Amino acid sequence: MIRFDDVTKTYMRGQHPAVENLDIEFSRGEFVFLVGASGSGKSTLMRMVLKEVAPTRGTVYVAGKDLSRLPSWKVPSLRRDIGMVFQDFRLLPSKTAYQNIEFALAVIGTPRKVVRRLVPEMLEMVGLEDKGKRMPHELSGGEQQRVAIARAYVNRPSILLADEPTGNLDPSTASGILDLLAEINERGTTVVMATHDRSAVDRMQRRVVEMVGGQVVRDEERGSYETPAPVSVISGNLPDDSAHREEHPLDEDGLVADWDGAPDPEAPVSGAASAERLDDQPDEHAIAEDILEEDLIDEREARRARDEDPFAADDEENLR
């Protein structure tokens, strides 16, 4: 479903790569947790799946397609098959919960009768069937995230990317969001979730991929948030710097070559410095050029959709 072949992404010449020599595959129907300290490369990985940014070297495949060969005019079609959920919800503040979900269908010219069927189905699925007329500010954080998930899933994408979806929520609410993502996964959608939520990872016991400095240092089929692996930054076994590459070189599979599964007695007891590393992040100018334009929730996308599809304007007008 998603495959990275020897992928490296460097935003600025001379800068440490955001992702380096990445070889990994996510299969259809998997639920995968991406873990790692801030700046470890998780968001860059997701942005490459969305074809927001292109790798400096290597190839990214999504649903069997080589993204380097995908023409720009086919990118919107690619992204319609990829749902995206964010930490900060990104709902349109002037639209109701119903209209936020509806808008994701309107921009692609979905017929009115289909919209009338799908939106109530989505609201019911996320447990908000009685709150479709509420504005975002009238909803709790958990309810807003449920609307955001419904909007991301309403087109029945084969892939759902979730970037810290529980980051702004209390533990009880976060648990409900995780259950919702698990339900979507059970319906056949591949879910890749970047997270710092220890309880979510430990509770689900799904595949866990840990990144450090743009590289995969751990890939466990049924993993937990922490590990005795000596190069794990989030477990507090190593400060988030590049020293581990010499002390614990990676083998040909991208995993720690000399780790026997036992804790490293020489490992530091604290990894507090790990969250402070930002040197592999793109600068503000690079971000400004490549930042996501919120394809399904930006009013400008609706105008572009109408320009490309003469029927879309009529369908959106019928929705009002």
3-state SS, the chain, equals: CEEEEEEEECCCCCCCCCEEEEEEEECCCCEEEEECCCCCCHHHHHHHHCCCCCCCEEEEEECCEEHHHCCHHHHHHHHHCEEEEECCCCCCCCCCHHHHHHHHHHCCCCCHHHHHHHHHHHHHHCCCCCCCCCCHHHCCHHHHHHHHHHHHHCCCCCEEEEECCCCCCCHHHHHHHHHHHHHHHHCCCEEEEECCCHHHHHHHCCEEEEEECCEEEEEECCCCCCCCCCCCCCCCCCCCCCCHHHHCCECCCCCECCCCCCCCCCCCCCCHHHHHCCCCCCCHHHHHHHCCCCCCCCHHHHHHHHHHCHHHHHHHHHHC
Q: Which residues pair with 209 in a beta bridge?
A: 34, 219
The token duo for 14 is: 């001379």
Name the packing angle between helices 171-186 and 141-153 (round to 10°): 10
**pTM of the complete model:** 0.75
Cβ distance 294 to 86 under 8 Å? no
pLDDT of residue 251: 47
Parallel, antiparallel or unpaired: strands 215-220 and 207-212: antiparallel
pLDDT of residue 241: 61
pLDDT of residue 11: 92
The predicted-structure confidence for 88-128, as pLDDT tens digits, reads as follows 999 999 999 999 999 999 888 889 999 999 999 999 999 99
Whether the CA torsion 52, 58, 63, 69 is positive or negative: it is positive
- Cα dihedral: 312, 317, 319, 320 (round 10): 150
The predicted-structure confidence for 34-51, as pLDDT tens digits, reads as follows 999 988 999 999 999 999
pLDDT of residue 109: 87
How many Å apart are CA 294 and CA 281, to the nearest integer? 21
pLDDT of residue 183: 95
Residue in 153, 52, 108, 79 with CA at minimum distance from that of residue 304:
108
Residue in 179, 173, 169 with CA at minimum distance from that of residue 87:
169
Residue in 204, 18, 167 with CA at minimum distance from that of residue 85:
167
pLDDT of residue 15: 84
Name residues of the chain where pLDDT drops below 50.
Answer: 242-320
Cβ distance 136 to 147 under 8 Å? yes
The predicted-structure confidence for 252-266, as pLDDT tens digits, reads as follows 444 444 444 444 443
Dihedrals phi, psi of 302, to nearest 5 degrees: -60, -40
The token duo for 212 is: 């450090």
